């Protein structure tokens, strides 16, 4: 693994600056927005000409994908694929990257600029695998892990590979299907994973009432979102209650917890205090906090959110 958690042929941060980032995902090089790089200068402006795909937003906020027609040394196969590009990215063929020998992720362009992976989570995936293996050894049985806002399943697959029984929750049915596809292409179609489309708040409330318990909870809440029945999620309003339910669901046999956040304006200190108070009942206990980063060669690192881990 490289410093990012991926081998460099699978993912690499190549450069960033002027509000953008240049990254390699497998065979494709992408030039996309990066608000955290607004005040930075690009270290190698000439390198940006190698981008294959560019995502930009107009003044009214609409996003658009385009092919970089100035890129040199492009294979005929790549050129043919780039001819299928549309503004939304819908016509572009999906491709795959591997997280070591552990699992694969199928990537696909979306109208909002996402592609199906947040590579800053890679070190968290490695941590999840270590925690599950430790827990399985300690308990002598499989661990029950709950993954909330599960997206395309990176954390779910990391836990499953290490021997956990995983309940994967996301409010978007198409995203749950993409996560299931990632399990299939990773050879994990028979792994003990429950794939559930549901509002995370309602699911956790019901699990508490049912008396169900878990050894661990992983959650990566968005700043704002909607449940499958248009339930509103606002992180500043709803995270505290959700963490309290997560604390109750793991109270009997808590092995580990992982909270990650990309929300601008929600400070690390606020997250730490809420995590400690709502899960452990007082502000003197909690987890270790750190920055998620996109990492590349020549000591490149770009801040990409906050994590809180317990233990």
Q: Express each pLDDT in 278-310 by its tens digit.
A: 998 876 567 899 999 998 877 889 999 999 999
Q: Is residue 85 scored above 80 in pLDDT?
A: yes
Confidence band of 72 (pLDDT split at 50, 70, 90)? low
Nearest-10 crossing angle of helices 154-161, 122-139: 30
C-alpha span between 272 and 275 (Å, rounded): 5
Q: Is residue 83 scored above 60 in pLDDT?
A: yes
Angle, CA of 136, 196 and 245, to the nearest 5°? 65
**Which parts of the chain are beta strand (E)?**
11-17, 20-25, 28-33, 53-57, 63-67, 95-99, 103-107, 143-148, 164-170, 193-197, 216-219, 224-226, 232-234, 256-261, 288-295, 301-310
Check if the beta carbon of residue 260 is closer than 8 Å to that of residue 307: yes
How is residue 85 written in tokens?
């590009």
- Count CB-CB contacts under 10 A for residue 249: 21
Q: Which domains does the chain have, with CATH numbers?
A: 11-94 (2.60.40.1180), 119-310 (3.40.50.150)
Check if the beta carbon of residue 292 is closer than 8 Å to that of residue 8: no
Core vs surface per residue 214-244: b (16+ CB within 10 A) or e? bbbbbbbbeeebebeeeeebebeebbeebbb
C-alpha span between 279 and 281 (Å, rounded): 6
- Poorest-confidence range of 13-22, 146-155, 265-274? 265-274
C-alpha span between 305 and 293 (Å, rounded): 7
Q: Is residue 4 scored above 90 in pLDDT?
A: no
Confidence band of 115 (pLDDT split at 50, 70, 90)? very high
Strand partners, 170: 197
> Helix, strand, or coil here: 237?
helix
**pLDDT value at residue 60:** 79
C-alpha span between 154 and 125 (Å, rounded): 7
End-to-end Cα separation, the chain, in angstroms:
24
Helix ranges (DSSP H) in 189-267:
200-210, 235-249
> Helix, strand, or coil here: 261?
strand
Which of 134 and 79 is assigned the larger pLDDT? 134
Check if the beta carbon of residue 113 is closer than 8 Å to that of residue 107: no
Q: Output the CA–CA distances (angstroms, integers) from residue 179 to 29, 119, 222, in the order listed.
A: 23, 15, 17
**pLDDT value at residue 277:** 92
By percentage, how much of the chain surpasses pLDDT 90? Answer: 82
What's the mean pLDDT in 108-132? 97
pLDDT tens, position by position, 195-242: 999 999 999 999 999 999 999 999 999 999 999 988 999 999 999 999
C-alpha span between 11 and 98 (Å, rounded): 9
C-alpha span between 230 and 121 (Å, rounded): 27
C-alpha span between 156 and 45 (Å, rounded): 37
**pLDDT value at residue 80:** 87
What's the mean pLDDT in 104-119? 97
Check if the beta carbon of residue 257 is closer than 8 Å to that of residue 287: yes
């Amino acid at each position: 693994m490289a410093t990012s958690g991926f081998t460099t042929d699978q993912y690499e941060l190549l450069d960033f600056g002027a509000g953008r980032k240049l990254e390699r995902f497998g065979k494709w090089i992408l030039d996309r927005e990066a608000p955290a790089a607004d005040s930075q200068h690009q270290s190698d402006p000439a390198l940006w000409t190698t981008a294959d795909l560019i995502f930009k937003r107009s003044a009214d906020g609409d996003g658009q994908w385009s092919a970089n027609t100035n890129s040199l040394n492009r294979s005929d196969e790549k050129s043919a694929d780039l001819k299928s590009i549309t503004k939304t990215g819908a016509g572009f063929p999906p491709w795959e990257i591997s997280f070591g020998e552990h699992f694969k992720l199928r990537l696909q362009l979306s109208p909002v600029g996402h592609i199906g992976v947040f590579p800053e989570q890679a070190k968290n995936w490695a941590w999840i695998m270590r925690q599950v293996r430790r827990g399985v050894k300690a308990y002598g049985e499989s661990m029950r892990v709950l993954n909330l806002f599960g997206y395309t399943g990176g954390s779910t697959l990391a836990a499953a590979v290490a021997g956990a029984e995983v309940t994967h929750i996301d409010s978007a049915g198409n995203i749950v299907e993409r996560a299931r596809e990632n399990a299939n292409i990773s050879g994990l179609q028979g792994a003990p994973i429950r794939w559930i489309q549901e509002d995370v708040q309602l699911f956790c409330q019901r699990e508490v009432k049912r008396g169900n318990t878990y050894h661990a909870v992983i959650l990566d809440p968005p700043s704002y979102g909607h449940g499958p029945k248009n339930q509103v999620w606002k992180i500043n309003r709803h995270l505290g209650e959700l963490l309290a339910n997560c604390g109750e669901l793991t109270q009997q046999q808590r092995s580990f917890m992982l909270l990650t956040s990309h929300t601008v304006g929600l400070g690390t200190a606020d997250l730490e205090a809420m995590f400690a108070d709502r899960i452990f009942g007082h502000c003197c206990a909690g987890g270790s906090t750190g920055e998620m980063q996109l990492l590349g060669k020549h000591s490149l690192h770009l801040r990409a959110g906050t994590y809180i881990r317990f233990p």
